[in-house]
Structure 1
Amino acid sequence: MAICVAELRKAFRSAGFRDDVVLTSSPGYMLRRADHELDVLSFQARVAEARSLTARREFERATEAYDAALGLWRGRALCDISSAVVEIEVERLQEQKLVVQEERTALHLQLGRHRELISELTTLVEEQPLREQTRAQLMLAQYRAGRRAEAMETFRQARRHFIDEIGLEPGPILQELHEAILSDDPSVRLPSRQSRASSTSIPAGTFPADISAFCGRDKELSDLDILLHRPPGVVGLLTGSAGIGKSALAVHWAHRAADRFPGGVLYVNLHDCCRTPQDSDAVDVLHTCLRQLGIAACDVPGDLDDARSLYRGLTQKRDVLVVLDNVASYRQVRHVIPGGTGARALITSRNQISELIDTSLWLRVQPVGHEEAAEMLGALVGHRAAAEPRALRELAELCDRIPAALRIAGTKLIAKPHWPIQRLTSRMRDPRTRLDHLEHGEQSLRRRFQTGYQRLAPEAARMFRLLGGLETAEFGLHDAATLLRLDTGEAENTLESLVDAHLLEGVDGLETDEACYRFLPLLGAFARELHRAEERTAEAARSKPPRLVAAGGKRELRFAM
């Protein structure tokens, strides 16, 4: 041991340490060092500096601090030491490094340095093929550099690798980015120089870029401005049907109001895919918000109460806006609604969040206005709009003035420059096939509706299908009760659950005592599709011939049902 210590002291002196670093101290030896002489502490200090500079919007200096922190690394930490105890610390340090690399990359993407990042990100993806955030950043850099085909291939490689290695499809981060790139969604384009200079403290890649083609919604934007003057704890709640434009409205307003939140804008997309949200979803959302507040993943407390206390403390001190997109249930977000005086939360959901109704600024997002719909579609199709104004207006109405439908129709016309607008308008006049024409590439209004339908309780799903068999889009409570052979109380409860899920609309009942309901035309077309499919299945079952089966030693004639 003494020989080894002597060699170690010699090595320190050769490295330039003047004082004796290894001291004799009973019952053995002690290593004396200052904080600046440990590279891991220097790394953590520079990362903290980078995050602080980012929060103050000093992005250039922040990138320099990130580069200095990562420049301290020389391969894998403690690579020459073999020990189970040390290996745990190595994994923790490695995770810290990966998180910092992603933060640095997000900042460089915000500053428009996508071309310089591609080579570096390609290497990182090869080293960490299952790390979705890094692969998403590579796709974004490729897309912004004009290499869209390469971005698509990066996604295809990810999908093959995920399926081969873990038997799962890529997660929401990659799936949503893939769809956004396919549709040339404005949210993934390079932010303008002005928006980069005035952006919030959260770098791009975390919060979507503003939507350059956003138009209309003046009343909704003014209503949301009221949120700025409400007491702490009041939540903005945007609800509406699939494709109605809740997320676009939330993102646009958040950018518009960003200067009122110097602490930054947090953004979590919950993907609205959990039929029965689990407690783990709420924990994941909490951890994501802590990460965006500058807490490294490895430093997030494992204990839920500790993590909640940390989040409350941070949001009490900072004026932040927390945007929670595509929320399925209050359970998912109950830990991250901030309580600070200057902090606010804005939630979008296809469902009514009953726990928040009485403490929220609640807006039911409706289809855009007639002029706005035509303007939105015209912005997509360009010069053809002026040549065919009547066809353009009719097409906007056939899309129910739903922004997602307008975007799909416009994208289809962009992809077919030889088509006059009238051609698509004529095809969409048939309500039986209208949804077929609102599919293009990975974009599908039918699939959006299907997601909401699949989350219904069985009785509500059955009623939705049966209502598709009615010959009218508007009907009364007694019609529905008769159709389902339910008493009016049970029928009304089920109908109201469809209204809450924004698959059905309640009609103003001032002129009659009976509750009335109606479908938006495209949702009615979807319900009729489901009804016809169910009828075909039943007819096929009835037409099957009987078959002989053995039962208890006897042969019996059975009919398929």
Structure 2
Amino acid sequence: MLAMLLLNADRVVSIDRISEAIWNGHPPATARTQVAICVAELRKTFRSFGFRDDVLLTSSPGYLLRRTEHEIDLLSFRSKVAEARALTDRREIVQATERYDEALALWRGRALCDISSAVVELEAERLEEQKLAVQEERTALHLQLGRHRELISELTALVEEKPLREQTRAQLMLAQYRAGRRAEAMRTFREGRQYFIDEIGLEPGPVLQELHEAILNDDPAIQEPAQPRQIAPPVTRPNTFPADVVPFRGRDAELTALDGLADAPGPSAALITGCTGIGKSALAVHWAHRKAEEFTGGVLYANLHACCRGPQESDARDAVHQFLRQLGVAAADLPADLDAATALYQDLMRDRKALVLLDNVATYQQISHVLPPGPRSAAIITSQNQISELVGNALWLRLRPVSEQEAVDLLVSLIGSRAEAEPRATAELAELCTRLPAALRIAATKLIAKPHWTIQRLVNRLAEPRTRLDHFEHGEQRLRSRLQASYQRLSPEVARMFRLLGRLNTTEFGLHDACTLLRLDPNEAERLIENLVDVHLLDGVPGPDTEDVRYRFQPLLRTFAAELDHNEVRAAETARAPRLVGRSAKAELRFAT
């Protein structure tokens, strides 16, 4: 059980997987109870060695072993290998071989050799394959550095242990040849060829065949190479973030809270969440402009919604590559491997005091590789989602609409004297915009573009709920499109709940109200509604009773939900119409005959 938890450190291992590993796919009826007993014993053992109680957590559908501050040799191995690959990509060969040596020094024979479990043995085979691949990568670098004589005894032992491993045999042949032992290199090939034929009935592959031919012909291509050129890492101070939002009004409390990031003693992060149009990106960018000079290592920026729309690993690699380019790494030098790219990024960031802006983040997996590692850097993450991995580990700012006065101040600063001439209409406009900064700016831009309109004229048009969103469009600014993008990221069942709630003739409701009016199962309704709260399409509001929770729509979001529901009903009626016509025609035909 401990082996499974260690192999999956920082990830939940289900009870079913643990049971399969312990009982080789045939768990007894009491498996869950026995696993729970084992967990209790493990926790007791951990405590006796000074580990904290939260090192082994219960997390549905199983258990999670946290790395905390303690090292796990497998993860240390992988980290050092990633660093070595990054150094190799930067052609820092000597440093790369040192890191490879450190990684392989962590091994003490075969992994998990004392555990009898089919599942664990399969993992052990995979780890052994990883180790052999790393040994070959390390050997290739040592050969580049001309260390062929020192390699011969080590490679001879490896070939005896793994005689069918062609790459290792080829490296031994090359080391022997470069050491002036050509006859031994030829014998190594002949012995390998005979072993291949005897054991698997095949000739060696092209790697060995071509090297054998090159040795026979003393091909210059396999002579000892010149010493590799060491490339210094790029040095640059990136400042690629967007222009400041002007004018910026309100958010004084949030700006003060963020100010602590610049002076924090260790790596620090802030998570800014809220609904579409609430001003998450504007707040992050505005604060970055205020504090940019204090981050002497620069400001890095990535819009994750724009650059990362593929599989999770592809998303993460794209983000790392984007930051490496901002740090001065040439496109041709970007490591293709995610771990290598991450190691290079962390190496370049380790001694900097930099600010990392991660905008429009959907999942933690997108950003886990680019959170700054250095003790003086900070990160600001904006997201519509509650990113659970950051909640509790970062400053969490949940944005609400700006105050009535701040909304009016923003309109006055944008529209000028026209707003001052129509104070009542300006206040009404602020409320019709739900005091959302994005809606306020679109409305103000529309009025600026139409100097012949009074503010009251726009207020009158916004007063009609069915067409309200039509008026929050100007040029490329479209509030409906932004809301639609948020809606499209919902699962089908959560999206359906959002539409159904648009039927409620109120912006605030209780769970009982929703279930009664919409004829929904309370447990299922609560699950789906809470999903909407998590992505800030609804707000949760404490009720008068400890068990009572109420939910609140931002008015523009309710308008959008009602519009979606109306369109869905119309689409269903349109699709049903041909069937009704067909049935009517058949009925008339039967009547006529």
- TM interval, shorter chain, is 0.5 to 0.7
Distance in 1, Cα, partners of 2:579 & 2:355: 63
Give 1:227 shift.
Answer: 2.4
- Are positions 1:201 and 2:237 aligned together? yes
Match of 1:477 in 2: 511
Distance 1:392 1:441, change over 3 A: same
Distance in 2, Cα, partners of 1:263 & 1:305: 23
- Are positions 1:450 and 2:471 aligned together? no
1:251-283 CA distance string (max 9 Å, x none)? 011111112210000011112697775320110
Distance in 2, Cα, partners of 1:481 & 1:276: 37
Letter in 1 for 2:273: T
Which of 257, 265, 268 is equivalent to 2:299? 265
- Is the contact between residue 277 and residue 332 of structure 1 (CA under 8 Å) also seen in structure 2? no
Give 1:298 shift.
Answer: 1.3
Q: Secondary structure at the match of 2:379?
A: strand
Aligned length: 353
Match of 1:426 in 2: 460
Distance in 2, Cα, partners of 1:297 & 1:485: 57
Give 1:514 shift.
Answer: 2.3
Match of 1:15 in 2: none
- Is the contact between residue 308 and residue 319 of structure 2 (CA under 8 Å) also seen in structure 1? no
Distance 1:515 1:276, change over 3 A: farther
- Is the contact between residue 269 and residue 324 of structure 1 (CA under 8 Å) also seen in structure 2? yes
- Is the contact between residue 466 and residue 483 of structure 1 (CA under 8 Å) also seen in structure 2? no
Letter in 1 for 2:285: V
Which of 327, 345, 359 is equivalent to 2:361? 327
What fraction of aligned residue pairs are identical, expressed as a percent?
Answer: 61
Map 1:13-92 → 2, pairs under 5 A: none
Give 1:532 shift.
Answer: 1.1
Give 1:208 shift.
Answer: 1.4
Give 1:426 shift.
Answer: 1.4
Match of 1:505 in 2: 539
Give 1:385 shift.
Answer: 1.4
- Are positions 1:306 and 2:344 aligned together? no
Give 1:228 shift.
Answer: 3.0
Q: Secondary structure at the match of 1:288?
A: helix
Distance in 1, Cα, partners of 2:526 & 2:309: 22
Q: Secondary structure at the match of 2:559?
A: helix
User: Quick check: which has more Rg, 1 or 2?
Assistant: 2
Q: Secondary structure at the match of 1:244?
A: coil
Letter in 2 for 1:435: L
Letter in 2 for 1:304: L
Letter in 2 for 1:245: G
- Are positions 1:526 and 2:563 aligned together? no
Which of 475, 479, 488 is equivalent to 2:522? 488
Match of 1:288 in 2: 322
Match of 1:171 in 2: none
The CA RMSD measured in Å over matched residues stands at: 2.5
Match of 1:466 in 2: 500
Distance in 1, Cα, partners of 2:260 & 2:518: 43
Letter in 2 for 1:446: R
Q: Secondary structure at the match of 1:216?
A: coil
- Are positions 1:352 and 2:366 aligned together? no
Give 1:344 shift.
Answer: 0.9
- Is the contact between residue 439 and residue 472 of structure 2 (CA under 8 Å) also seen in structure 1? yes
1:137-169 CA distance string (max 9 Å, x none)? xxxxxxxxxxxxxxxxxxxxxxxxxxxxxxxxx
1:108-133 CA distance string (max 9 Å, x none)? xxxxxxxxxxxxxxxxxxxxxxxxxx
1:462-484 CA distance string (max 9 Å, x none)? 00001111112211112333455
1:202-251 CA distance string (max 9 Å, x none)? 25xx2112223112211110011122344534321000111111111000
Which of 432, 457, 469 is equivalent to 1:398? 432
Give 1:546 shift.
Answer: 4.3
Q: Secondary structure at the match of 2:397?
A: strand
Map 1:16-415 → 2, pairs under 5 A: 201-203=237-239, 206-230=240-264, 232-271=266-305, 278-415=312-449
Give 1:519 shift.
Answer: 0.6
1:432-460 CA distance string (max 9 Å, x none)? 22111111122111111111001001111
Q: Secondary structure at the match of 2:350?
A: helix
Distance in 2, Cα, partners of 1:273 & 1:429: 38
Distance in 2, Cα, partners of 1:357 & 1:219: 19
Give 1:540 shift.
Answer: 2.9
Q: Secondary structure at the match of 1:341?
A: coil
Q: Secondary structure at the match of 1:446?
A: helix
Give 1:354 shift.
Answer: 1.0
Distance 1:273 1:437, change over 3 A: farther
Distance in 2, Cα, partners of 1:375 & 1:476: 34
Distance in 1, Cα, partners of 2:524 & 2:467: 33
Give 1:506 shift.
Answer: 0.7
Distance 1:231 1:489, change over 3 A: farther
Structure 1: gaps of 5 or more residues? 1-43, 45-199, 550-554
- Is the contact between residue 510 and residue 549 of structure 2 (CA under 8 Å) also seen in structure 1? yes
Distance in 1, Cα, partners of 2:335 & 2:308: 25
Which of 436, 439, 443 is equivalent to 2:470? 436
- Are positions 1:516 and 2:550 aligned together? yes
Distance in 2, Cα, partners of 1:546 & 1:523: 34
- Is the contact between residue 401 and residue 436 of structure 2 (CA under 8 Å) also seen in structure 1? yes
Letter in 2 for 1:202: P
Give 1:326 shift.
Answer: 0.8
Give 1:396 shift.
Answer: 0.9
Distance in 1, Cα, partners of 2:460 & 2:567: 25
- Is the contact between residue 425 and residue 455 of structure 2 (CA under 8 Å) also seen in structure 1? yes
Letter in 1 for 2:237: S
Letter in 2 for 1:417: P
Letter in 2 for 1:430: E
Letter in 2 for 1:308: T
Q: Secondary structure at the match of 1:348?
A: strand
Distance in 1, Cα, partners of 2:525 & 2:308: 26
Q: TM-score, normalised by structure 2?
A: 0.56
Distance in 1, Cα, partners of 2:308 & 2:526: 26
Deviates more, 1:294-303 or 1:245-254: 294-303
Distance in 2, Cα, partners of 1:460 & 1:285: 29
Distance in 1, Cα, partners of 2:536 & 2:508: 15
Distance in 2, Cα, partners of 1:228 & 1:388: 41
Distance in 1, Cα, partners of 2:311 & 2:487: 16
Deviates more, 1:297-306 or 1:341-350: 297-306
Distance in 1, Cα, partners of 2:491 & 2:458: 36
Distance in 2, Cα, partners of 1:495 & 1:519: 11
Distance 1:484 1:230, change over 3 A: farther
Give 1:485 shift.
Answer: 4.5
Q: TM-score, normalised by structure 1?
A: 0.60
